[in-house]
Amino acid sequence: MPRRPADGRKRWVDLDDAPELTDEFFSRADVFDGEKLIRRGRPPLAEKKQLVTLRLDPAVLARLRATGPGWQTRVNEVLKIFTKKLAAQPATRHAATSPVRRRPRAAAPARRT
């Protein structure tokens, strides 16, 4: 069986060769309150965001991404503002609020039997 290559770290055996315990070492340590691990980082949101698939025009997507990191958050904020404005309006069909007007579908050709 071939030998695995060394991972580059020297293994220490003598306790006098142990690494020094620095402030940086303790800043990465896990913090416990009794038996419970205290999680770090951003606290979980009360209302989690949902993953969706959205199709956008390439030019629109390129312009959004060009605004830099956080573009998805900014899009979310714009959509929040838009939905608040919609909620303030009387209930109407979505077609009335959409700037895109759809053409009526052409009648299907008659089938031959």
d(CA 39, CA 32): 9
pTM for this predicted structure: 0.45
Across-strand partners of 33?
36
Segment 15-71, tens digit of pLDDT: 777 778 888 888 888 888 888 888 777 888 888 889 999 999 999 999 999 999 999
Half-sphere exposure of residue 4, counting CA atoms within 13 Å on the CB side?
3
Segment 4-15, tens digit of pLDDT: 666 666 666 777
